[in-house]
Amino acid sequence: MSESLPQPSRRTVLRTLAVTALAAPLALRPLTALAAPAATTLWHPNPATDGLKAFEGIEADRGNKHPGRKYVVVEDDHYRFNIWADDRDTTGGGDRQRTESKGMVQNGTALKMHNGETWTINYDMYMPSSLHGTSKFTHIFQTKTPSTNGGPWVTIDLSRDGSTEIIQARAYANSGSPAIAKTNLAPLRDKWINITLTLTPGSKGKAAAIIRSGAGTSAPIAAQGQLSNVNIPDEGDYVRPKWGIYRSVQSAKSDIVDTYLLFKNYTASKA
């Protein structure tokens, strides 16, 4: 004859049901809390309809030495940034040149990155063979603080290691300007590639970068990386991205030639 298991008392059953009822909502909370916040796409300019109003402004030929030149123009579905070997910026005593857009504007409102916020910026970019890595600085992306002219904080640079040309995202304001993501430039020229930057501004911020070898976020990854304690402070104002070509003319003359840079499919999202 099999032995029956002892049955719990009615009081024990009621106490167990009460505890279970209280515990159930608590068990669900961590799932919600752990879910990544949905990113909201705030900037998605259309070159054909937004034109240069997608940016806070354009910085090119600020000395008005070449009034007939077209520095930033819309071509079909993309923006073209032109630069000539004899261009000179008004800063640096004639040692540099600049064709850049600054900021992100959507529906007439400038978007501003502040300390503690996490932003993801994505775009496709085309670099021709005439755009060279250089021994001095060549930035094709910068982040700065407008009110203080602070920075550049995080950059994308075209540089050289001897005869090897390199593209790299850098924590430019950190000691030694360490690379966040870095790879050879040559395989990425003369075609559309994709850039993703995820930035959390602050004096001890975060930065991540992905460089893809084709257009769009499904293209193969050529380089990626992330760093913490990255110096990207808003300094009581805001952090503003810039795109284009900003370079020293003190590099080899063979590297400072007439060239251009193309951008399309800009987006910026805030988590």
**Ordered DSSP codes for 105-133:** EETTEEE-B-TT--EEEEEEEE--TTS--
Q: pTM for this one?
A: 0.86
Indicate the SS3 state at residue 211.
strand
What integer pLDDT is reported at residue 14 of this predicted model? 40
| Mean pLDDT, rounded, of the chain | 89
- How far apart CA 232 and CA 49 sit, in angstroms, is 32
| Secondary structure E strands in the chain | 40-43, 57-60, 72-75, 78-83, 96-102, 104-106, 109-111, 119-126, 138-144, 154-161, 164-171, 179-184, 192-200, 202-212, 221-232, 240-248, 259-270
Average pLDDT over residues 68-94: 97
What integer pLDDT is reported at residue 37 of this predicted model? 54
pLDDT (tens digit per residue) in 207-220: 999 999 999 999 99
What integer pLDDT is reported at residue 197 of this predicted model? 98
pLDDT (tens digit per residue) in 231-261: 999 999 999 999 999 999 999 999 999 999 9
**Whether residue 90 has pLDDT greater than 90:** yes
pLDDT (tens digit per residue) in 108-119: 999 999 999 999
What integer pLDDT is reported at residue 39 of this predicted model? 84
**Whether residue 101 has pLDDT greater than 70:** yes
246 CB burial (10 A radius; 0-12, 13-18, 19+): buried
Greatest alpha-carbon span in the chain: 107
**Whether residue 7 has pLDDT greater than 60:** no
- What is the Rg, in whole angstroms, of the alpha carbon atoms belonging to the chain? 25
What integer pLDDT is reported at residue 240 of this predicted model? 98
Average pLDDT over residues 125-152: 98
- How far apart CA 141 and CA 270 sit, in angstroms, is 19
For residue 179, give both structure tokens.
């690379």
- How far apart CA 110 and CA 76 sit, in angstroms, is 24
Between 23 and 151, name the one with better pLDDT: 151
For residue 257, give both structure tokens.
């030639």
Q: How far is CA 258 from the centre of its chain?
A: 25
Average pLDDT over residues 96-116: 98
Structural domains of the chain sorted by starting position, each given as residue range(s) with its CATH number in brackets: 40-270 (2.60.120.200)
Average pLDDT over residues 10-28: 37
Between 142 and 7, name the one with better pLDDT: 142
Average pLDDT over residues 40-60: 98
Q: For 269, phi and psi rounded to 5 degrees?
A: -125, 145
**Whether residue 11 has pLDDT greater than 80:** no
Indicate the SS3 state at residue 62.
coil
